[in-house]
Amino acid sequence: MNQWIAVGALALMGVGIPLGMIAVSSLIRPSVPEQGKSSTYESGEIPTKSAIGIQFNIQYYMVALLFVVFDIETVLLFPWTVIYQPALESGVGLMTLLFPMLVFIGVLVIGLVWAWRQGAVKWARSEAATRRKTEHNS
């Protein structure tokens, strides 16, 4: 049997079960629309503007960029780890197998060190917030 038929069937279950629960819930739940109920939660206050378009820390963008680099690296690691043991057993030299990957990882580690020194993985501090701070503990 083709293995992916079963995977597809499980994917179908993964969509079907949530949809089924939504359907059951829609049959038994009440609907009492009232004014004020539908405003978003902001600690009981009337929400200020919309949440779409608010400013957030640039750091999220920096780590996401770093992730793209390392994610592609892990993709390239997978085939190497799979052939590693069989290739050793069939007599390929250790340095022939290991050295190129060490260079590859080394290049990426240099990249990480660079990003580290640039402060890409250090949480950016808001200068305005630091100025307004009343306690000094750092």
Partner 1 sequence: MTPLQVQTFPEAIAAMLPWSGLWVDVLSALVGTFLVANFLLLNTAVAGPWAKRKITAAFTDRISVNRMGPAGILTIPADAVRLLSKEQIIPEGVDRPAWDMGPILIPFSALLGFAVIPMGSGIQVADPEVGIAFAFAASSIASLGLIMMGYASNNKYSLMGGLRAVASNIAYEIPLVVTGVSVILFTGSLRTSTIVAEQAQPLVTLWGVSIPQWFAFVNPFAFALFTVANLAEVGRNPFDIPEAPTELVAGYQTEYSSAYFVLIYLGEFIHIFLGGAIAATLFLGGPAGPGPAALGIVWFTAKIWAFYLFTQWARSAIPRLRVDQFIEIGWKGMLVLSFANLVLTAVIVGVLA
Q: Is 114 in the site for partner 1 (CB under 8 A)?
A: no
Q: Which two tokens stand for residue 65?
A: 């960029």
In the numeric block, the tokens 């190129």 are attached to 100
What mask, x for binding partner 1 by CB under 8 A, covers residues 26 to 55?
x-xxxxx----xxxxxxx---x--xxx-x-
Residues that bind partner 1 (rule: CB under 8 A) add up to a total of 72
Burial of residue 68, with CB atoms counted within 10 A of its CB: 0-12 exposed, 13-18 middle, 19 or more buried? exposed
Cα distance between residue 82 and residue 76, in whole Å: 11
CA atoms within 13 A on the CB side of 32: 3
Within 79-108, the residues that bind partner 1 by CB under 8 A are: 81-86, 88-89, 94, 97-98, 101-102, 105
Q: Is 58 in the site for partner 1 (CB under 8 A)?
A: no
> Nearer Cβ to partner 1, position 39 or 130?
39
CB of 65 to partner 1, least distance (A): 10
Q: Is 72 in the site for partner 1 (CB under 8 A)?
A: no
Q: Is 2 in the site for partner 1 (CB under 8 A)?
A: yes
Alpha helices in 29-119, H assignment, sequence order: 59-89, 94-118
Q: Is 137 in the site for partner 1 (CB under 8 A)?
A: no
CB of 119 to partner 1, least distance (A): 11
Helix (H) or strand (E) holding 12: helix 3-28
CB of 98 to partner 1, least distance (A): 6
Cα distance between residue 77 and residue 84, in whole Å: 11
DSSP 8-state assignment for residue 138 = -
Among residues 45, 46, 58, 71, the one that binds partner 1 under rule CB under 8 A: 71
